[in-house]
Structure 1
Amino acid sequence: MIGSSAGVMAVLIFMCSYMPYKDVRILVFNIKLIYIGLFFVVLDLIQIPVSNAGGHLAHLGGAMTGYIYQRNISRGNDIGQWISNIASYFSSLFSFKRPRFAKYIPQQNPNPNKINLKSIKQKLTQSLIKSVSQDMQA
């Protein structure tokens, strides 16, 4: 996990800017996410001249990246989509594709001698109507 602290800071600031007024319980206190994010940013700003300026600047860069990413996501612009496309391309190269077999589709009328009930029903209905109308006329 060495070197991942800037990424962790990016995720923290992303969450803090995405839902800043969400309460988080720390021990027995409820603290809003915005205050947690501000605390870590100010802490890194204060510690730049004291020790490891490169590490603290990396944290601030991660914080800026998380904030910019969240702002773009909230506007509907996913600036990381290209990374997802590259990852899905490489994962598709190594994924197993099952062989596709032809789907069996039965013929509509395999047996022409088969009784068609619908046409018989229509013929019976027509003959019944004809006979009833002849009886009513007589």
Structure 2
Amino acid sequence: MGESDRYSDYKKPKTKLTFGQEGNALVSLITINIVFFLLLQTIKVIYFVFESPEIAFRAGSLQYFELPAQLSSFAKKPWTVLTYMFSDVEVFRILSNMLWLWAFGFILQELTGSKKLIPVYIYGGIAGALFFILANYALPPLRQDIGSAALLGANAAVMAVAVAVTTLVPGYRFFRNLGGGIPIWVLMLVYVLIDYAGISTESAAYSIAHLGGGLAGFLFIVFLRKDIDGSLWMNNLYNWFMNLFNPNKKQVSAKEKIFYKNDGRAPYKKSANLTQQRVDEILDKINQKGYQFLTEEEKNILKRASEEDL
């Protein structure tokens, strides 16, 4: 039994990926996509009730969610670089994207914690937007229709998640009871073939956008292996924003308050004060980042806690 297995269920119920679980990034992403889809469908129904043609819906409302290919149009709606990757109006496409997001996102979140998935998704979406705009300007057949071209859907962002997890654990296997399992790279290959099936000149920009998303996912893992975590600034920004509304944001951490005892001792003689609060902090860190990110000191604390049955 490994050290991480030894402490995975210590004093806390095992964390499983279930809908409604607090701090579940995968559930949050799927929920946001569904909410945007239902919102757009509701607006579309309103247009239908007033007997307006679908082109009126696209020109009147959908344009504020989709990413325009033309830079002059994008300059007027810069927020679409984020909204487009959560928005869709096609039932089959959103169902497909959410299924693939769940399949690959489940593994990525299980291996890296809940703070990597959303940044990878967003990086993929932004890279997809950049590649989409560049493709429309670079390819002559697309340039003539650049004024009406727009990008919508989570494809590029999901592609980033898929490539990221495949790069991270190419040997991961599904359905291990079936002849040893199916390698994740096979599932990735199937996903790519489906995504790029029926590619044409008209859809070239969309396929290139998905390629940009995949590249973002690949680079995220490459840099992560070099100890460059592209998710840190994004998570710190989120925490800073949320703490603006938190009256307890200036609380001192448990480690600073109670981790060391110095009752009449010399400052250089520190004795670890083993407390349930400190152990809980370490368990939370395992849940968020993984056991491999613990320091030796934190591993020793968990070992002591297990032996002393705190």
Query: Does structure 2 conserve the Cα–Cα contact (< 8 Å) formed by 1:47 and 1:56?
Result: no
- Using the size of structure 2 for normalisation, the TM-score is 0.28
Provide the residue aligned with 1:124 in structure 2: none
Provide the residue aligned with 1:65 in structure 2: 216
Give 3-state SS (helix, strand or coil) of 2:174's partner. strand
Number of aligned residue pairs? 100
Provide the residue aligned with 2:185 in structure 1: 34
Provide the residue aligned with 1:11 in structure 2: 161
Query: Which of 225, 246, 252 does residue 74 from structure 1 map onto?
Result: 225
Which residue identity lines up with residue 77 of structure 1 in the other structure?
I
Provide the residue aligned with 2:92 in structure 1: none
Instruction: Give the CA deviation at 1:19.
Output: 0.4
Which residue identity lines up with residue 96 of structure 1 in the other structure?
P
Query: Does structure 2 conserve the Cα–Cα contact (< 8 Å) formed by 1:47 and 1:53?
Result: no
- The 1-side partners of 2:239 and 2:227 are apart by 21
Provide the residue aligned with 1:20 in structure 2: 170
Query: Does structure 2 conserve the Cα–Cα contact (< 8 Å) formed by 1:22 and 1:32?
Result: yes
Evaluate the alpha carbon distance shift between residue 51 and residue 24 of structure 1 in structure 2; reply closer, same or farther with a 3 A threshold: farther
**What does 1:1-138 align with in structure 2 at a 5 Å threshold?**
1=33, 2=88, 3-25=153-175, 30-44=181-195, 47-49=198-200, 52-97=203-248
Evaluate the alpha carbon distance shift between residue 47 and residue 71 of structure 1 in structure 2; reply closer, same or farther with a 3 A threshold: farther
Which residue identity lines up with residue 14 of structure 1 in the other structure?
A
Query: Does structure 1 conserve the Cα–Cα contact (< 8 Å) formed by 2:173 and 2:184?
Result: yes
- The 2-side partners of 1:82 and 1:98 are apart by 18
Query: Does structure 1 conserve the Cα–Cα contact (< 8 Å) formed by 2:173 and 2:182?
Result: yes
- Point out where structure 1 has 5 or more consecutive residues left out of the alignment: 101-138
- The 1-side partners of 2:167 and 2:247 are apart by 40
Query: Does structure 1 conserve the Cα–Cα contact (< 8 Å) formed by 2:159 and 2:213?
Result: yes
Give 3-state SS (helix, strand or coil) of 1:15's partner. helix
- The 1-side partners of 2:226 and 2:250 are apart by 42
- The 2-side partners of 1:44 and 1:9 are apart by 9
State the superposition RMSD in angstroms: 3.0
- The 1-side partners of 2:250 and 2:166 are apart by 47
Question: Which range moved further: 34-43 or 70-79?
Answer: 34-43
